[in-house]
Structure 1
Amino acid sequence: MITRDPDVFFTQAGRLAADFGPATARAAFLVAPDGFARAEQSAGDNRYMAQAADFDPGRASAQHRELQRRLSAVLPTICFAGDPDTPDALFPNNVFATGRPDAARQPGGAPRYLVGRMRHPVRQREAGRADIRAFFGQVLGYEEVDLSLQAHPCELTGALVVDRVRGLGYAGLSERCDEAGARLMHEALGLRATLLFELAPGEYHTNVVLAVLAGRAALVSPAGFAEPALASAIAGFYAPHGMILAAAEHAAFVANSIALSADRVWMSAAAGRVLAEHTRAGLAAAGFALETVELDAIEAGGGSLRCCVGEIY
């Protein structure tokens, strides 16, 4: 089911068992910020991106290596080389994603990897990475679903936040994901239900305003939704662990966080520093310890920790 009607979506979602698949990924992959610089095409619809003079490639590279080191203590985390011709490539979760069939309906089904259709030509180059495709297809043996050559933008887990436990998708529509693109992602991941909604003007990706953490908690920023009441509905669905974020938390990328294990939530150090006490307490009540990594140089590129992390299911 794919719908714009929140009542229909949440009625269906409430009936679903938590048996779609594992709550968190079994491994992660990154792409190094080699050639990290301001991509003017991407800056056209990413208001979070800094000016060119504020980019520090050396500091970004050091922070990225530290991110990999820290994540590797929790799950296997590999890093592909970057490419100066793709300055946004350190945010690979927009271009590559993985999934497995509905475990309850297709036990033992073959995993797959998706290649997304990026809006901007500078990012469309990333979809042609033969090494990343070969890693998923030849090394891991995943089936390919290539969406990169069709006409509809669908920037994967940037535009689509997924509850992997229930098989739910939250697809924020913008210039980087239209309705047809959202439907393609819904079908490629075999989701049970996906809710379509408009992001607020000036927002480019859903994962900047919403995080679903291991299927049992949510961080939601109403300012990122064209209809702020929908943010409350999403938080309510994950009650008592649905947390509404304040404007300062939104601006500092608190929603651009991720759970890579059942007991920890990862976000940038800047996000952690502005975290409201009730949000911090809510994460603890949901069973999550907080892990932070300094990523200020990377955040100049208009994304934060979750954007850097590709998940391998």
Structure 2
Amino acid sequence: MSQSSNTVVMVRPHYFASNPETMADNAFQSVAQQGVNVAKAAYDEVTKAAEVLQSKGVKVHLFDDEGTETPDSVFPNNWFSTHRTGELVLYPMYCSSRRKERRTDIIEFLRTEYGYEKTLDLSSLEQRHVFLEGTGSVVFDHNHKVAYAARSKRMDEGALSQLCERLGYEPIVFDATSGDGKPVYHTNVLMAVGSDFVMASLDMIRNPEQKQRVIRSVEACDKALVPLTEQQINHFAGNTLELDANGRKILAISETAYRSLNTDQVQQLKQWVELLPIAVPTIELGGGSIRCMLAQIFPK
């Protein structure tokens, strides 16, 4: 089973803004921004990002969102994921505004275009205040069927267990906090898993036993660890995604994140991937970066 694919879904918002509903527990989000200039800048960033990925050979399915009630729709990876088993998973979202991002047209497109015959719909868990926000809350190692997940309001262990049981993955759960003690709101800002490497700030996993369990898992999966600092995490260096592109592997990474890496880290990563910096500074005001913008499609 391949870790990466050459196909993604992206959503281009027409009314992007930071979401006050999500700001309380998303330390990566800046002061709420709104207005024509911010919305246009975000629209243009998504357009350019899609063009850059396509120029490298990545297949991008770009959907427009003209709604005004979905300020975070640019991050579709939180509400669905696809799997080579033919499984389409729909996730329970923490904030009510984010639940409106689920779109029947995208779901039907995925079923028709890629033949997903099975759906695991966890969205009804929202009624019980149980949440699991997709590949934001869960970082998959598809090669070795491992699901890494940091505890937070947006990652319920029961929902994770249900997901892993259905997919046949082993859950590895841990606590991760910033220097001021706040839980990391999404696992995919803390770590990224590639075919041959894992980028992560393990120092933010304060419990020694939990940290060692993650390290042992990475080693057992025969992947190299690229350590990141908390400062680099704050610059979205953990929020990257490996993709296939014309027979080679690329790493989608924001320019903000790329600039935070040191020379040794860049050289280490270049052993396995071509680094592809993409400028998304306006979207990063909303608390997510390039990985959050890419819902990866795994054809059956």
TMscore range, shorter length = 0.7 to 0.9
Distance 1:54 1:253 in 2: 22
Q: Partner of 2:101: helix, strand, or coil?
A: helix
Counterpart contact for 2:9–2:295, Cα < 8 Å:
yes
Distance 1:76 1:258 in 2: 14
* TM-score (norm. length: structure 2): 0.87
* Matching of residues 89-104 of structure 1 within 5 Å: 89-101=73-85
2:162 is aligned with 1:184: yes
Q: Which amino acid aligns with 2:165?
A: E
Gaps of 5+ in 2: none
Work out which of the residue numbers 251, 258, 275 in structure 1 matches 2:261.
275
Q: Deviations over 1:68-106 (max 9, x none)?
A: 1111232211111112211101000010100123xxxxx
Following superposition, the deviation at residue 299 of structure 1 comes to 0.2
Q: Deviations over 1:260-301 (max 9, x none)?
A: 02421110001111111221121023x212110111011000
Paired position in structure 2 for 1:162: 140
Q: Partner of 2:193: helix, strand, or coil?
A: strand
Following superposition, the deviation at residue 126 of structure 1 comes to 1.5
* Matching of residues 41-60 of structure 1 within 5 Å: 41-53=21-33, 56-60=38-42
Following superposition, the deviation at residue 238 of structure 1 comes to 5.9
Distance 1:141 1:217 in 2: 30
Q: 1:292 to 1:135 in 2, by over 3 A?
A: same
2:114 is aligned with 1:140: yes
Paired position in structure 2 for 1:194: 171
Distance 1:186 1:232 in 2: 20
Paired position in structure 1 for 2:277: 292
Paired position in structure 2 for 1:252: 235
Q: Partner of 1:66: helix, strand, or coil?
A: helix
* Matching of residues 1-150 of structure 1 within 5 Å: 21-53=1-33, 56-73=38-55, 74-82=57-65, 83-101=67-85, 111-127=86-102, 129-142=103-116, 143-150=118-125
Counterpart contact for 2:14–2:40, Cα < 8 Å:
no
Q: 1:170 to 1:235 in 2, by over 3 A?
A: same
Q: Partner of 1:42: helix, strand, or coil?
A: coil
Q: Partner of 1:250: helix, strand, or coil?
A: helix
Q: Which amino acid aligns with 2:168?
A: L
Paired position in structure 2 for 1:10: none
2:226 is aligned with 1:243: yes
Counterpart contact for 2:151–2:183, Cα < 8 Å:
no
Counterpart contact for 1:34–1:87, Cα < 8 Å:
no
* The 10-residue stretch of structure 1 (170-179 or 46-55) with the greater mean CA deviation from structure 2: 46-55
Identity of aligned residues (%): 26
Q: Deviations over 1:127-155 (max 9, x none)?
A: 2x111111122333212211111232111
Counterpart contact for 1:46–1:202, Cα < 8 Å:
no
Counterpart contact for 1:161–1:170, Cα < 8 Å:
yes
Q: Partner of 1:81: helix, strand, or coil?
A: strand
Distance 2:230 2:27 in 1: 15
Gaps of 5+ in 1: 1-20, 102-110
Q: 1:253 to 1:237 in 2, by over 3 A?
A: farther
Counterpart contact for 1:235–1:244, Cα < 8 Å:
no
Counterpart contact for 1:32–1:90, Cα < 8 Å:
yes
* TM-score (norm. length: structure 1): 0.84
* Matching of residues 200-239 of structure 1 within 5 Å: 200=177, 201-214=182-195, 216-227=196-207, 229-230=211-212, 232-233=215-216, 236-237=219-220
Counterpart contact for 2:18–2:34, Cα < 8 Å:
no
Counterpart contact for 1:220–1:234, Cα < 8 Å:
no
Following superposition, the deviation at residue 33 of structure 1 comes to 2.0
